[in-house]
Amino acid sequence: MVPEIKNILYATDLSENARFALKYASTIANRFGAAITILHVLEELSPSSLGLVSEIVGKERWADLKKRNEEKVITSIRTRIEDVCNEISQSIPECPFIVQEIIVKTGHPVDQIIHYAEKEDCDMVVIGSYGQGIFSEAVLGSTSWRVLRQCTKPVLVVRLPKNA
């Protein structure tokens, strides 16, 4: 049985590695006629950091600041993602791809990526990784490694080449 790839989840942290991984996601999407859903997760403050900020600023003021600024940040991130998609499309015009949706969520990146991949029945996940050199396994042990180990969907982890 040849697997059908129609819905690719591309997870990005807006890094150079993630930008490089988008080229792989777009090539696969083009080859299989698949659509790409782009997911960026804003990591929440740890409970201790959140408590400290709330005490310094005040809970009501913090909630107000968070709400006002969260919308600005989400809009800014969406714009950056759209710009990267346009840049990639222009750099490889022979490989057009369709972005189905750009999603910006708040939460724990690994949990959000896995949850979305499962909930939306994605056929595969594409994610960039920093791992290179002697510490590659330790560095890959971050988000990409945990997604690779925990996700039930196929995961393509793309490393930035050494000469990039």
Query: pLDDT for 49-62, tens place per residue?
Result: 667 767 777 778 77
DSSP 77-129: HHHHHHHHHHHHHHH-TTS--EEEEEEEEEE-HHHHHHHHHHHTT-SEEEEEE
Place domain 7-159 in its CATH homologous superfamily.
Answer: HUPs (3.40.50.620)
Query: pLDDT for 15-65, tens place per residue?
Result: 888 999 999 999 999 999 999 999 999 887 666 766 776 777 777 877 777
pTM score, whole prediction: 0.83
| Contact (CB, 8 A) for 113 and 144 | no
∠ CA(91), CA(96), CA(98), 5° rounding?
A: 125
